[in-house]
Amino acid sequence: MGTHFPMTRPINDTLLRALLRQPTDTTPVWIMRQAGRYLPEYNQTRARAGSFLALCRNPNLATEVTLQPLARFPLDAAILFSDILVLPDAMGLGLYFVEGEGPKFERPLREEWEIRDLSAPDPDNHLRYVLDAVAQIRRALDNQVPLIGFSGSPFTLACYMIEGEASRDFRWVKSMLYGRPDLLHRILEVNTQAVTRYLRAQIESGAQAIMLFDTWGGILSSPAYREFSLAYMQRVLQELPREWDGHIVPRIVFTKGGGLWLEAIADCGCDAVGVDWTVELDSAKQRIGHRVALQGNLDPGVLLSNPDTVVREVARTLAAFGPGHGHVFNLGHGITQWTPPENVAALVSAVHRESRRYHNPG
Ligand code: CP3
């Protein structure tokens, strides 16, 4: 068979095993935004690239920064270095970053004709640089640890596409949701097709697990969450291949602020549910741990303290999940740029050391 990658599992496959609730000796750990501004070597590479977007668009440099946190810490996974907003950028919205203000779009969706004109991009063409980065990162990893691919959820992408930037009140999204739900559904239809094609292309290029980031699902009412966010993530997962190259491709769904809806999320076709720090892992495990794995959930703020405190909070988080498999250690949201790297070193070694006791049989 002329497959691109050998049908081997990574040497360290604890992440893939934990996501499928299979036995492991330790709890695997990776960190949302593990490649980023808290690392001086990241800031250097970004300066060489010229900007964050130039870094995302250069597969060599994207590979370099993807590997940087793995060179420092014995993490159990790599995550593609990119951004969720490169997908709407490929849809023609014109992504740019203003220093200190975060992402913005030149052409947010405001007019009905703009929404009617929207269409899902062909990733092989418009997102070639991401797929090239995925393939190159896989080669560079040489099966040491698995590579996670990702996308924003259809709803979270729609939030940025409609608001044109990060928002506090989501004024445009909410007025469309209640005033013209047909238009929001139209955007979500297109996004669902776009996300599905994009994730499938990442899998075909070498991503071994995938994650949906639903950063803004938590701003919705319970019925609106089901209708405008969860239903579309479920459709994405239905359409994705379950296996690639002879291996299951596990799926993680993370709705920030989704603690109220864990049962519904666990039913959407995912293998693992990401939880933020407002949820207790013992109760989350009781509610959905018999069906899916859990990923999380240390408050990123803990990493602003000191190594002793980090170790204590890691031990507390592991104890909350307790004995048994199916826990992937992570933060409850992305690491902040103010994190001292030595606190990350303390976190990773504490997870590996302190988690052994929970995996011993008997
Ligand atoms: O986890 C990783 O290491 C992979 C890389 C990754 C980035 N963004 C790199 C990045 C991932 C998975 C994302 C996802 C992402 N991007 C999300 C979903 C997860 C979340 O955090 O809720 C969202 C909402 C975005 C949109 C986005 N991109 C924002 C709001 C910002 C600004 C954040 C800030 O702190 O200023 C970005 C920029 C961004 N994406 C950076 C990085 C490393 C910092 C950019 C820089 O170097 O200047």
Distance 8 CA to ligand 1 centre (A): 31
Q: 252 φ, ψ to 5°?
A: -115, 135
Q: For ligand 1, atom 5, name the residue with the nearest CA.
A: 81
Probe target for ligand 1 pocket from 15, 29, 33, 48, with the most ligand atoms within 8 Å of CB: 33
Residues contacting ligand 1 via CB (< 6 Å): 32-37, 46, 52, 79, 81-85, 102-103, 150, 166, 213, 215, 334
Q: How far apart are CA 209 and CA 87, in angstroms?
A: 19
From the list 323, 328, 321, 327, the residue with the least C-alpha distance to 280 is 321
- Ligand 1 atom at shortest distance from the alpha carbon of 66: 3
Q: How far apart are CA 101 and CA 44, in angstroms?
A: 20
Which residue numbers are catalytic?
33, 37, 46, 83, 160
- Ligand 1 atom at shortest distance from the alpha carbon of 150: 12
- Ligand 1 atom at shortest distance from the alpha carbon of 85: 26
Q: For ligand 1, atom 39, name the residue with the nearest CA.
A: 83
Coil, helix or strand at residue 195: helix
Q: How far apart are CA 351 and CA 323, in angstroms?
A: 14
Angle formed by the axes of helices 231-239 and 181-205, nearest 10°: 30
Q: How far apart are CA 329 and CA 294, in angstroms?
A: 8
Distance 7 CA to ligand 1 centre (A): 31
Probe target for ligand 1 pocket from 44, 83, 98, with the most ligand atoms within 8 Å of CB: 83
Distance 52 CA to ligand 1 centre (A): 10
Distance of CA 291 to the CA centre of its chain: 20
Predicted local distance difference test score (pLDDT) of residue 264: 98
Predicted local distance difference test score (pLDDT) of residue 1: 42
DSSP code, position 206: T
Predicted local distance difference test score (pLDDT) of residue 41: 98
Predicted local distance difference test score (pLDDT) of residue 2: 44
Predicted local distance difference test score (pLDDT) of residue 100: 83
Q: For ligand 1, atom 47, name the residue with the nearest CA.
A: 52
Distance 201 CA to ligand 1 centre (A): 21
* Phi and psi based region of residue 324 (left: phi greater than 0; alpha: psi -120 to 50; beta: remaining): left
Strand order in the sheet with 209-214: 78-79, 147-152, 209-214, 251-255, 272-274, 293-298, 327-331
Predicted local distance difference test score (pLDDT) of residue 361: 64
Distance 57 CA to ligand 1 centre (A): 14
Predicted local distance difference test score (pLDDT) of residue 82: 98
pLDDT in tens, the chain (362 residues): 445 555 678 999 999 999 999 999 999 999 999 999 999 999 999 999 999 999 999 999 999 999 999 999 999 999 999 999 999 999 999 999 988 889 999 999 999 999 999 999 999 999 999 999 999 999 999 999 999 999 999 999 999 999 999 899 999 999 999 999 999 999 999 999 999 999 999 999 999 999 999 999 999 999 999 999 999 999 999 999 999 999 999 999 999 999 999 999 999 999 999 999 999 999 999 999 999 999 999 999 999 999 999 999 999 999 999 999 999 999 999 999 999 999 999 999 999 999 999 997 65
Strands (E), 18-115: 78-79, 95-98, 102-105
DSSP state string for 248-310: E--EEEEETT-GGGHHHHHTSS-SEEE--TTS-HHHHHHHHTTTSEEEEEE-GGGGGS-HHHH
Predicted local distance difference test score (pLDDT) of residue 216: 98
Coil, helix or strand at residue 9: coil
From the list 176, 191, 193, the residue with the least C-alpha distance to 110 is 176
Q: For ligand 1, atom 3, name the residue with the nearest CA.
A: 33
Distance 31 CA to ligand 1 centre (A): 12
pTM of the model: 0.96
Predicted local distance difference test score (pLDDT) of residue 331: 98
**Residue in this structure with the two tokens 């608001």, named with its chain if needed:** 163
In total, the chain counts a number of residues equal to: 362
Q: For ligand 1, atom 21, name the residue with the nearest CA.
A: 334
Q: For ligand 1, atom 8, name the residue with the nearest CA.
A: 83
DSSP state string for 94-161: -EEEETTTEEEESS-S-SHHHHHH-----HHHHTHHHHHHHHHHHHHHTTSS-EEEEEE-HHHHHHHH
Instruction: Count other Cβ atoms within 10 Å, centred on residue 165.
Output: 13
Q: How far apart are CA 51 and CA 110, in angstroms?
A: 28
**Domains in the chain, please, with CATH?**
25-293 (3.20.20.210)
- Which residues are within 8 A (CB) of 294 and not within 5 positions of it... i.e. 6 or more apart? 272, 273, 274, 275, 281, 284, 285, 288, 321, 326, 327, 328
